[in-house]
């Protein structure tokens, strides 16, 4: 089974250098279409001219860097060069451009740095968010099991090789038309050590998928932070919409407490010592209501979700143990990835753009109608008194049938701000931390900020999923979010 494939030994990491990295020009590729955009660059679908291979090009933005090459890009490249797994996005090479480049309209780019640096990734047709946002899509149980098992397999590989992803969300999970799912956008990833826990920034992970220990100010944490995000995605796939759509950090904590109960020394030993616990502990008793709210879920799914969304990170299930959960071994079984339906390419950045174009088209049509009213004849009496206009389903209708569309800035919130260094930041003011609101679009290749806005699988940004405090969008799946 796929679970067995996850047990890769740390010694299998690829630590060899690729001698040609950085030696080729971006002119070896023809840009076909932009699929992501965010604070840290753009992502393009491109074709290698010599071989015809389709790839994703992620341009690293240099114009807002005062001290040379972005540290986040260095970290991402370093981590991706050593991770080789079927469920982790593959960084193929680095290419450069010499001299001033031209933008998509053929005009010279005003980047003061003469030339650019691109990360070349394997191309993936979709990100999970973009796929889920397609009209009429509702994932089946075998499909959800298939995607979840691949997500957990890739994450287990990262964790046994001591890498925290720190931005697991739908737009950072890329899917190809063979049904393969890969973790992408390692712009916030960090290596960690089980022996020596150093202080890490708590301003990571898009707001809607951020665990309570980070929201309460903890700076010592491990793989459990990623597992909380996985639990949020799992519930979202089963429920049809995000389960913790907070507007800022205080509201995010409140939504978590309302569903998972208020933390105390009984259910979370040591919680009272976390920096901002006293600032945000509930003033009234709040019971855990997870089983009640999601009582319509399958019993085994609910048991697994309970362990993923444990308040105490020490009690949260690991990726390895989650792969052995009864949920994956009971009927119906996970489907074969190759049996999944094939769809037209759908990255969050693209689906958001299509929605915006549709809205613009409807607004223009409305405006034209008001400016040039059409004469209308009187309706027959029976129609005047009894007929009611039918509601037409618009482009923003939720793909989940009865579920209303998500309102607000989009799944991933607005782009996150500059990374905060290790250490404690002050508790959030009444409006939350800067950049706490949901951000705009992004992509799984990592172009956008780490919030919950909509973006594309290679790293752009998207709107509506909460904010990632580090800046970025949903389209950051390939690591454009830094």
Residue 312 · residue 271 · CB < 8 Å: yes
Which residues lie across from 464 on neighbouring strands?
Answer: 410
The single residue of 127, 167, 185, 248 carrying the catalytic annotation is: 167
**Angle CA 96–456–259, to nearest 5:** 135
Quote the CA–CA distance of 219 and 12 in Å, as a whole number: 30
For the beta carbon of residue 390, count every other beta carbon within 10 angstroms: 5
**Cis peptide preceding 332, ω within 30 of 0:** yes
Q: Are strands 24-25 and 91-98 parallel, antiparallel or unpaired?
A: parallel
Residue 145 labelled as part of a binding site: no
Tokens of 235: 């519930």
Q: Which three-class secondary structure state does DSSP give residue 399?
A: coil
Quote the CA–CA distance of 22 and 392 in Å, as a whole number: 52
Residue 169 · residue 229 · CB < 8 Å: yes
Quote the CA–CA distance of 75 and 66 in Å, as a whole number: 17
Q: Annotated catalytic, 104?
A: no
Residues 6+ apart with CB under 8 A from 129: 169, 170, 171, 173, 348, 411, 412, 454, 462, 465, 474
Question: Torsion angle, CA of 82/87/89/90, rounded to 10 degrees?
Answer: 60
Catalytic residues: 167
């Amino acid at each position: 089974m796929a679970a067995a494939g996850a047990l890769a030994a740390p010694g299998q990491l690829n630590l060899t250098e690729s001698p040609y990295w950085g030696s080729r020009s971006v002119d070896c590729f023809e840009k076909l279409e932009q699929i992501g955009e965010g604070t840290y660059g753009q992502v393009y679908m491109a074709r290698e001219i010599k071989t015809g291979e389709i790839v994703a090009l992620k341009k690293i933005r240099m114009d807002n860097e005062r001290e040379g090459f972005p540290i986040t890009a260095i970290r991402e490249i370093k981590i991706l060069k050593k991770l080789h797994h079927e469920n982790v996005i593959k960084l193929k090479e680095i290419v450069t451009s010499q001299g001033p480049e031209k933008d998509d309209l053929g005009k010279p780019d005003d980047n003061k740095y003469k030339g650019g640096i691109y990360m070349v990734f394997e191309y993936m047709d979709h990100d999970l968010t973009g796929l889920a946002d397609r009209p009429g899509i509702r994932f089946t149980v075998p499909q959800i099991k298939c995607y979840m098992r691949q997500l957990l397999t890739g994450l287990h590989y990262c964790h046994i090789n001591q890498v925290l992803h720190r931005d697991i969300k739908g737009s950072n999970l890329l899917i190809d038309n063979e049904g393969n799912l890969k973790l992408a956008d390692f712009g916030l990833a960090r290596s960690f050590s089980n022996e020596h826990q150093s202080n890490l920034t708590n301003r990571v992970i898009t707001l809607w998928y951020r665990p309570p220990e980070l929201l309460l100010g903890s700076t010592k944490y491990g793989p459990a932070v990623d597992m909380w995000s996985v639990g949020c995605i799992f519930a979202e796939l089963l429920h049809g919409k995000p389960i913790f759509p907070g507007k800022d950090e205080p509201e995010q904590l409140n939504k978590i407490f309302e569903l998972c109960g208020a933390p105390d020394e009984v259910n979370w030993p040591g919680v009272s010592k976390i920096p901002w616990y006293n600032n945000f502990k509930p003033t009234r008793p709040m019971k855990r209501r997870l089983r009640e709210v999601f009582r319509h879920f399958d019993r085994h799914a609910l048991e697994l979700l309970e362990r993923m969304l444990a308040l105490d990170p020490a009690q949260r299930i690991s990726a390895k143990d989650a792969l052995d959960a009864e949920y994956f071994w009971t009927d119906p079984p996970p489907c074969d990835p190759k049996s999944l339906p094939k769809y037209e390419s759908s990255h969050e950045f693209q689906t958001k753009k299509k929605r915006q174009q549709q809205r613009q088209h409807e607004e223009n049509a409305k405006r034209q109608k008001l400016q040039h009213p059409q004469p209308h004849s009187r309706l027959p009496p029976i129609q005047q008194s009894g007929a009611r206009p039918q509601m037409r389903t618009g482009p923003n209708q939720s793909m989940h049938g009865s579920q209303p569309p998500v309102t607000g800035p989009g799944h991933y919130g607005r782009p996150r701000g500059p990374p905060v260094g290790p250490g404690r930041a002050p508790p959030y003011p009444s409006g939350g931390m800067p950049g706490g609101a949901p951000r705009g679009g992004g992509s799984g290749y990592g172009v956008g900020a780490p919030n919950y806005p909509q973006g594309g699988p290679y790293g752009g940004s998207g709107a509506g999923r909460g904010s990632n405090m580090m800046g970025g969008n949903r389209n950051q799946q390939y690591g454009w979010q830094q």
